Amino acid sequence: MNVLTAKITQNYTQVLGTKYYEFSNHLGNVLMVYNDIKVGVDANIDGVVDGFLSSITNYSDYFSEAFS
């Protein structure tokens, strides 16, 4: 199929904020959860968005207890 000339037969919509992604360490512990909302950042305060940050919904720190 040639994607440049293909006809779209269905429209898809996505509601932002309904998809969640997880970052975990090598042990499988979830350290951070973020969603699909992008937050615009104006680094030099000129009124133009210079980049985007992800919207973090939950984070935690994992540490093991030292046993004596």
Distance CA 23, CA 29 (A): 8
d(CA 52, CA 30): 23
Residue 42 has a pLDDT of 92
- pLDDT by position in tens, the chain (length 68): 677 787 878 887 878 888 899 999 888 888 899 998 888 999 998 989 999 988 889 988 866 666 55
Q: Which two tokens stand for residue 8?
A: 């779209």
Q: What is the pTM of this model?
A: 0.56
